[in-house]
């Protein structure tokens, strides 16, 4: 094997040994700090988790108030987990607007006259999901219940809310429509394709805290 020109074995070997000794000494000196470093990283992660949990608690109340005041965009309207799930779908695109709720019940829209805060229309390789966050009168639940039951929706009243659904269940592919009426708000979601698990429940928990 040819030798590299200018390389002296008598110098290279002692230098290599010296470098190894220096590295070993540094490792020996740093060893006592390893437990301290591990503890510091753990404390930092725990503090970050605690701050995040506190921020989410505040965000629940802020989202509810902001919706009531008409000051929410699509990012604020969705919890982090649901936003990430929708964003990371292949070919995901979001169109934010103040379009009317995505329902075929035009007469219901006319009767309620909803004030649309924001409408979020997602399109991806998995299908399309559009959700409108609107403000309505306090008598909206009764009107929505009567109108949708007559169109084949399954409606349930619980926890001071009305929830009506028709079509494919969450987690299944297909066309579906979902309504939530609560505290002067009417949230309408129309899906054509894959519908995330517990989509409506996650929205409710994000906005109302449970």
Q: Is there a domain that residue 31 lies in?
A: no
- Whole-number Å distance between alpha carbons of 60 and 57: 5
CATH of the domain at 113: 3.40.1000.70
pLDDT one-digit tens code per residue, 153-202:
999 998 789 999 998 766 566 799 999 999 999 999 999 988 888 999 99
Q: How many domains does the chain have?
A: 1
Radius of gyration of the chain (CA): 29
What is the pTM (predicted TM-score) of this model?
Answer: 0.70
Structural domain span for residue 151: 70-208
Q: Is there a domain that residue 145 lies in?
A: yes
> Backbone dihedral region of 94: left (phi > 0), alpha (psi from -120 to 50 degrees) or beta?
beta
The ranges of the chain with pLDDT < 70 are 1-13, 15-16, 26-27, 29-61, 169-173, 210
């Amino acid at each position: 094997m040819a030798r590299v020109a200018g390389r002296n074995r008598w110098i290279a070997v002692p230098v290599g040994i010296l470098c190894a000794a220096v590295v070993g000494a540094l490792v020996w000196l740093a060893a006592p700090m390893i437990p301290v470093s591990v503890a510091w990283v753990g404390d930092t992660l725990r503090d970050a988790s605690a701050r995040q949990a506190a921020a989410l608690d505040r965000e629940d109340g802020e989202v509810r108030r902001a919706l009531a005041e008409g000051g929410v965009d699509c990012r604020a309207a969705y919890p982090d987990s649901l936003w990430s799930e929708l964003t990371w779908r292949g070919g995901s695109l979001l169109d934010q607007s103040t379009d009317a709720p995505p329902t075929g019940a035009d007469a219901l829209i006319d009767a309620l006259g909803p004030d649309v805060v924001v409408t979020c229309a997602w399109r991806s390789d998995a299908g399309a999901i559009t959700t409108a966050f609107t403000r309505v009168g306090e008598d909206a639940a009764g009107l929505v219940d009567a109108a949708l039951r007559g169109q084949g929706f399954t409606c349930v009243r619980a926890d001071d809310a009305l929830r009506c659904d028709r079509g494919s269940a969450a987690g299944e592919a297909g066309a579906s429509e979902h309504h939530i009426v609560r505290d002067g708000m009417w949230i309408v979601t129309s899906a054509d394709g894959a519908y995330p698990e517990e989509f409506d429940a996650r929205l409710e928990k994000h906005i109302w805290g449970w």
